[in-house]
């Protein structure tokens, strides 16, 4: 079945002016199709984002972010805006139970993120966490992949990596593992090769509100694509802007540390993903962000921000074979009867669903393949992934207020 309704794209950005809670997210129905449909319907823009920042400027950003997260922020309450704070929405029991086993120094005292990054179907997977910080998400995922899986966290801030490493033995004993299934590396997500991470070595790459901190977004996605296995997924939450940011905003030290100055113009994500080789982004959830600081609000001006989770897939060409009809067999832990895949598709156990060629290829080539019966089919009618009925005026209405 398709998931529609919810708030519109324009409403999400307009809501950023008055949203009482900022980093959390609710279901984002029709707008999910709007975001994805914008790219697939031919709305194309060449990115003009901080990827072209000179090397010296990029190094300065890295240093300032390291200082901000390593020295100034000692606990969540030290944040000057609420753009990097997760909402308190209910979590699945399996995730709640796993979080309770994470050491208190890792969670929640030193946690900064704009969404819980927990994709489905994780047993025995190899996962890479970009910008892993003090390791909360890594230790959570360590339990979900099991002892036969593996989680690697990489972060550029030495202090954060030290906190994460300090608790490896504690967590492995807590989880009942004979040997560690998690490791932490200090390095840059734009240069994973320098940290020794090989091509085609991970099933999933995640990140939690950190790509906005990288001056070169394209390099981050390119490296993620490189280390992913064919059929692998990049599942990530981040902050996006309603327009390309001014130089004044992009050079503001506090706005960088607070996840706003580096926010990508949301349309540029589609262009970059395509250039790198990923499938078109699938929007999972999104919600508006309210800055809540008058001085910072005046610097940002009329730009609006949303917190959003997307999933991208490294789909091999051999998996592309036209639209299909798929039936979810059930059985994924925590999603046994229903799998909410993204804002367009919810798959119920035993229910036949028409999907377009892109979704068919994703399911056919990814770790989800064994959970679905996939058959050839005709292109779905009405609002499919490639045929969302969203006009350019609606897509741009939020830009013009």
Q: How many CB atoms lie within 10 A of CB 104?
A: 9
Q: What are the extents of the domains in the chain?
A: 9-314, 319-376
In this predicted model, which residue has the larger pLDDT, 18 or 341? 341
pLDDT for the residue numbered 217: 96
Distance CA 368, CA 340 (A): 13
11-70 pLDDT, tens digit each: 455 555 444 323 333 333 333 333 333 333 333 333 333 444 334 445 555 455 555 544
Parallel, antiparallel, or unpaired: how do β-strands 324-328 and 305-313 relate?
Answer: unpaired
Q: Tell me: cis bond preceding 312? Omega within 30 of 0 counts.
A: no
pLDDT at position 148 over 90: yes
Phi-psi category of residue 8: left, alpha or beta, with phi > 0 → left and psi -120 to 50 → alpha: beta
Calculate mean pLDDT across residues 154-164. Answer: 94
CB 203 within 8 A of CB 229: yes
pLDDT for the residue numbered 213: 87
232-271 pLDDT, tens digit each: 999 999 999 999 999 999 988 888 878 899 999 999 999 9
Task: Tell me if residue 391 falls in helix, strand or coil.
Answer: coil
Which burial class, exposed, middle or buried, applies to 368 when counting CB atoms under 10 A from its CB (0-12, 13-18, 19+)? buried
In this predicted model, which residue has the larger pLDDT, 318 or 226? 226
pLDDT for the residue numbered 60: 52
pLDDT for the residue numbered 300: 92
For residue 290 the two structure tokens come to: 């309210």
Distance CA 176, CA 101 (A): 11
pLDDT for the residue numbered 79: 53
pLDDT at position 319 over 50: yes
Radius of gyration of the chain (CA): 20
CATH of 9-314, one of 3.30.390.50, 3.40.50.150, 3.40.50.2020, 3.40.50.1100: 3.40.50.150
List, as one string, the DSSP characters of 39-102: HHTT------SGGG--HHHHHHHHHHHHHIIIII-SSGGG-SSSTT--------HHHHHHHHTS
Q: How confident is the prediction for the chain on average, in pLDDT?
A: 78
Exposure string of 67-90, with b = 16+ CB inside 10 Å and e = fewer, is: ebbbeebeebeebbbbbbbbbeee
- Give the global pTM: 0.79
Helices within 168-314 (DSSP H only) = 168-175, 217-227, 247-250, 253-257, 266-276, 294-300
170-186 pLDDT, tens digit each: 999 999 999 999 999 99
pLDDT at position 225 over 70: yes
pLDDT for the residue numbered 108: 58
CATH of 319-376, one of 1.10.260.30, 3.40.5.100, 3.40.50.300, 3.90.226.10: 3.40.5.100
DSSP assignment, residue 343?
Answer: S
Distance CA 44, CA 101 (A): 45
Calculate mean pLDDT across residues 177-203. Answer: 97
pLDDT for the residue numbered 138: 96
Distance CA 160, CA 75 (A): 12
Helices within 108-228 (DSSP H only) = 136-145, 158-166, 168-175, 217-227
302-317 pLDDT, tens digit each: 999 999 999 999 999 8
């Amino acid at each position: 079945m398709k998931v529609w309704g919810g708030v519109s794209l324009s409403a999400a950005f307009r809501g950023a002016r008055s949203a009482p809670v900022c980093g959390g997210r609710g279901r984002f129905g029709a707008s999910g199709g709007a975001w994805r449909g914008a790219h697939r319907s031919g709305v194309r823009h060449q990115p003009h984002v901080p990827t072209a920042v000179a090397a010296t400027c990029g190094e300065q950003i890295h240093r300032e972010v390291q200082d901000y997260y390593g020295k100034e922020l000692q606990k969540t309450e030290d944040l000057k805006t609420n753009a990097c704070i997760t909402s308190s929405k209910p979590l699945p029991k399996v995730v709640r139970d796993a979080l309770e086993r994470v050491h208190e120094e890792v969670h929640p005292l030193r946690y900064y993120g704009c969404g819980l990054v927990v994709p489905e179907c994780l047993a025995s997977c190899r996962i890479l966490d970009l910008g892993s910080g003090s390791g909360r998400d890594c230790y959570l995922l360590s339990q979900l992949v099991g002892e036969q899986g593996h989680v690697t966290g990489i972060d550029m801030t030495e202090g954060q990596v030290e906190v994460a490493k300090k608790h490896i033995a504690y967590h492995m004993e807590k989880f009942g593992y004979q040997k560690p299934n998690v490791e932490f590396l200090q390095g840059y997500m734009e240069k994973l090769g320098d940290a020794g991470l090989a091509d085609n070595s991970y099933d999933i790459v995640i990140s939690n509100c950190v790509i906005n901190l990288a001056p070169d977004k394209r390099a981050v996605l390119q490296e993620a694509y490189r280390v992913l296995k064919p059929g692998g997924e990049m599942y990530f939450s981040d902050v996006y802007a309603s327009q390309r940011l001014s130089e004044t905003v992009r050079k503001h030290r506090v706005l960088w540390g607070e996840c706003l100055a580096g926010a990508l113009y949301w349309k540029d994500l589609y262009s970059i993903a395509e250039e790198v080789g990923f499938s078109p982004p699938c929007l999972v959830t999104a919600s508006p962000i309210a800055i809540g600081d008058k001085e910072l609000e005046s610097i940002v001006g009329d730009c609006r921000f949303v917190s959003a989770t997307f999933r991208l897939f490294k789909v091999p060409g051999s998996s592309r074979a036209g639209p299909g009809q798929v039936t979810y067999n059930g059985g994924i832990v925590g999603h046994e009867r229903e799998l909410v895949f993204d804002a367009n598709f919810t798959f119920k156990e035993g229910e036949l669903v028409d999907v377009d060629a892109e979704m068919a290829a994703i399911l056919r080539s990814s770790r989800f393949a064994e959970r679905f019966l996939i058959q050839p089919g005709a292109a779905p009618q009405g609002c499919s992934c490639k045929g969302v009925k969203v006009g350019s005026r609606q897509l741009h209405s939020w830009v013009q207020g």
